[in-house]
Amino acid sequence: MSRLVVPRLGVAAACALVACATARTVCPPGTSLGRHVYSGGAEAEWCRRPDGARQGPETRFYESGFEMASGEYVDGAQSGVWRYRFNDGRNWRAERWDDGAQIQVTVDPAVARMTPAELERLGPTSSAVIKLASHDPVPGREVRDTSGGTFVGHFPNGRPRVAGSYDAAGLRTGVWRFWFDDGRPEREVEFIDGVRERAVREWHRNGAPAADGLYRAGLREGRWRFWDERGALTADVWYRDGRRVAPGDMLPARP
């Protein structure tokens, strides 16, 4: 019986020649693996809880089999460090996330010297947002338009701690509400695809407002106001792409 002989090309190159039947992402106990192979051959692997929510690592691969991006979700929200790689295996970007909010970005300085055409050949778009080399628009639209169910977590005293909804991909969507253990509201945050988007409001334990503002793609955007526990305004600031700016420096909204 003949057998297929694959040269010593490493896992990534070998997967480019034959489909990888074995998953390359290790899921934590209590979760299971989800996989999607895109029409052009790119792949995504992620871990999910029994209720369908994303929990644990996710890895995305180019058609070649090389790793494109890797990171983690916690309770359906993007969290921890996410790393992005060119299609030749080089690291080019790292992001730190906290409960769907992007709090730090590190980009290889060489990226700034590359032309849009060079970036496109290496995998990411010229806008520095990683992409799957082949896009399946219909599955993406179906995920956004389909509910994956609701989630309610409770404190030991029985009071609700958090409540919100997941989309069909197991990512946080819509408004999520959080409470203190005495039943008073702690914060309300909107999510799309597991990332903070649009309005957020926060309160102190005594019920006084703590903050309100907007997120766009996980970054603070526009006007943000902050109060102390006595209700006194402590800061009134503006953000653009997560960076603090003067009101007069605000540019037209991104398309």
pLDDT tens for residues 36-75?
Answer: 887 777 889 999 999 999 999 999 998 888 899 999 999 9
Domain that holds residue 176: 142-249
Q: Return the pLDDT at 21.
A: 58
Question: Does 44 share its domain with 103?
Answer: yes
- How many CA atoms does the CB half-sphere of 87 hold within 13 Å? 18
Q: How far apart are CA 99 and CA 79, in angstroms?
A: 5
Question: Does 155 share its domain with 176?
Answer: yes
Residues 202-234: tens digit of each pLDDT? 999 999 999 999 999 999 999 999 999 999 999
Q: What is the mean pLDDT of residues 186-215?
A: 97
> How much is the mean pLDDT over the chain?
84
Question: Does 108 share its domain with 83?
Answer: yes
Question: Does 178 share its domain with 109?
Answer: no
Question: Does 157 share its domain with 50?
Answer: no
Residue 3 domain flag: no
pTM score, two decimals? 0.80
Token pair of 85 as six digits: 């790689």
Q: Return the pLDDT at 118.
A: 86
Residue 2 domain flag: no
The residue among 135 and 116 whose pLDDT is bigger is 116
Token pair of 43 as six digits: 């792949």
Residue 5 domain flag: no
Question: Does 116 share its domain with 154?
Answer: no
Question: Does 101 share its domain with 215?
Answer: no
Question: Does 75 share its domain with 119?
Answer: yes
3-class DSSP state of 55? strand
Question: Does 149 share its domain with 108?
Answer: no
pLDDT band at 139 (very low <50, low <70, confident <90, very high): very low
pLDDT band at 27 (very low <50, low <70, confident <90, very high): very high
The residue among 31 and 118 whose pLDDT is bigger is 31
Q: Return the pLDDT at 251.
A: 54
Domain limit, last residue, from 84, 105, 135: 135
CATH at 150: 2.20.110
pLDDT band at 81 (very low <50, low <70, confident <90, very high): very high
Q: Return the pLDDT at 104.
A: 95
Q: What is the mean pLDDT of residues 148-161?
A: 91
Largest CA distance in the chain: 80
Question: Does 101 share its domain with 157?
Answer: no
pLDDT band at 176 (very low <50, low <70, confident <90, very high): very high
Question: Does 120 share its domain with 166?
Answer: no
Domain tally, the chain: 2
Domain limit, last residue, from 87, 108, 135: 135
- How many CA atoms does the CB half-sphere of 208 hold within 13 Å? 12
